[in-house]
Amino acid sequence: GAVVSQHPSRVICKSGTSVKIECRSLDFQATTMFWYRQFPKQSLMLMATSNEGSKATYEQGVEKDKFLINHASLTLSTLTVTSAHPEDSSFYICSALTGGVTEAFFGQGTRLTVV
Amino acid sequence: GQQVMQIPQYQHVQEGEDFTTYCNSSTTLSNIQWYKQRPGGHPVFLIQLVKSGEVKKQKRLTFQFGEAKKNSSLHITATQTTDVGTYFCALGGGSQGNLIFGKGTKLSVKP
Residue B108 bridge partners (DSSP):
B12
- Residue type for A17, please? T
A49-53, B35-39, B88-92: which range is least confident on average? A49-53
- Asked if A46 and B31 come within 8 Å (Cβ–Cβ), the reply is no
- Asked if A102 and B104 come within 8 Å (Cβ–Cβ), the reply is no
| Closest chain B residue to the Cα of A56, Cα to Cα | B96
Percentage with pLDDT > 70 across chain B: 95
Residues B51-85 as b/e (b if ≥16 CB within 10 A, e otherwise) read eeebeeeeeebbbbbbeebbbbbbebeebeeebeb
* pLDDT at residue A51, rounded to an integer: 84
Cα–Cα dist A105/B82, whole Å: 21
* Chain A residues whose beta carbon lies within 8 Å of the beta carbon of residue B103: 42-43
Cα–Cα dist B20/A114, whole Å: 37
- Asked if A42 and B103 come within 8 Å (Cβ–Cβ), the reply is yes
pLDDT in tens, B27-55: 999 899 999 999 989 999 999 999 999 99
Cα–Cα dist B22/A96, whole Å: 26
Confidence of residue A54 (pLDDT cuts 50, 70, 90): confident
Size of interface A-B (CB pairs under 8 A): 52
DSSP 3-state of B25: coil
